Amino acid sequence: MKMMLSEIAKAIDATIDSNQDVEITEVQFDSRLINVNALFVPIIGERDGHDFVFAAKDSGAIATLWQTDHEIPENLGLAVLRVDDCLAALQKLAKYYLQKVNPKVVAVTGSNGKTTTKDMIRDVLSTQFNVHATEGNFNNELGVPMTILNMKINTEMLVCEMGMDRPGQLTQLSQIVSPDVAVITMIGEAHLEFFGTREKIAQAKMEITSYLKEDGYLIYNGDEPLLNNLAQNIEQDKLTFGFENTNHLYATNVETKQKQMKFQTNLDEDINFTLPVIGNHNVSNALAAISVGEVLQIEPSNMQNALSHFNLTKDRMQWLEGDAGEEIMSDIYNSNPTATRASLSAFSNVSLVDETNQRIVVLADMLELGEQGPELHANLVTAFSKDAINQVYLYGPLMANLYSQLIKIYPETNLHYYDIDHKQQLIQDLQATIHAGDLVLLKGSHGLHLSEVLQALL
């Protein structure tokens, strides 16, 4: 990004407190990540970003936004843009820069799979276009503007992941990006604590279409009745994907291989797709990416090649080799009942090296499920088969509900429970149990920090 400070001031209706116009090559809200010629944006969150302006200056910032309700420090030595609200100004600047670059925008949301789907779409579109996409978890009202402002000026396609944890959030994000294509992967139980029912989650996800361009497309999972009902109110063109033959695009001849999925589609059964990840849910994610590719006229052979080796974001069903020679499927970025069931199903179908090896599952609490949390944990019992999963390790107070159900089908020697302050014992027991050739699944919400368990095993 390159913009003169005067252009930025005009774009966000800011008062500029400087006689010197300078070129800004970066916008940053984290003073630790500042580079030279940066515009610092002090965001007010748990801490007030204004308190870090001198650190930002020392790192190379040459200008800063500054809220009018804060006094400017003496001897600041930076060009200052006075605004009423720094976050709102950042969003306004992002919208301006997006219109200036003018790429096609693909916005992706969903209870599960949005990051993996974003990764797939990015790689599919990159076969024919200059693409910029969300990195990490930059998918909220702060992350989406930063994703936009990190675009290069020659970007032709922007793939923007959008998360939400409250009603109205996706409406706001949709207004910032005005998508050409909106994608909804699926509706699960994520954020039940805030929404109460899956119906309300579906309604909130549909907010992504609030500012969908008039000639845009809505691409969504047609196997979900809640989405089918809500989509009837959308005037733009719609494409559905899934496993049912009532969808515009559906998978055929799905096969699970060791660490791979193979499938074809109804649109061209001469093309065989291969994914470097397992699970039918990832086939569904790929169908969403193929649908986007169809709308944006990507050659089928290019989609086939891209999906065969797409770059998956860290800790989403990522295979790693453990210190004892075991193979670990790290799926610890986040967790909810639908995602956990999908991971368990996929993991159960991975072949063992020989009959002396074990499939070992480590599950931590699934957060943000509200009052339904205990019941949803207990109900995971139906996803287990003691013939497919040999050892089960459960961590966290909510997982006690699943333990009470699994004890009915597993012998005590194969079922292990740990309260929240016994993580080190969990690690020690796993290290004593795991042998070369074993398969280990780690799955849990980010707040339980299974990353510490993973690092110990690595």
Is 256 assigned a ligand-binding role in the annotation?
no
Is 112 assigned a ligand-binding role in the annotation?
yes
> Residue 375: exposed, middle, or buried by beta-carbon count in 10 A (0-12, 13-18, 19+)?
exposed
Is 115 assigned a ligand-binding role in the annotation?
yes
Torsion over CA of 435, 441, 443 and 449, rounded to 10 degrees? 30
Burial string for 42-53 (b: 16+ CB within 10 Å, else e) reads bbeeeeebbebb
Half-sphere exposure of 425 (CA within 13 A, CB side): 11
Is 252 assigned a ligand-binding role in the annotation?
no
Is 174 assigned a ligand-binding role in the annotation?
no
Distance CA 183, CA 172 (A): 16
Is 114 assigned a ligand-binding role in the annotation?
yes
Q: What residue spans of 102-196 are helical by DSSP H? A: 114-125, 143-149, 169-177, 192-195
DSSP label at residue 140: S
Q: CB atoms < 10 A from the CB of 271, how many?
A: 14
Is 111 assigned a ligand-binding role in the annotation?
yes
Residue for token digits 């944890």? 165
Q: Which residues pair with 273 in a beta bridge?
A: 263
Residue type at 229 in one-letter notation:
N
Query: What is the radius of gyration, based on Cα positions, of the chain?
Result: 24
Binding-site residue positions for ATP? 110-116
Binding-site residue positions? 110-116
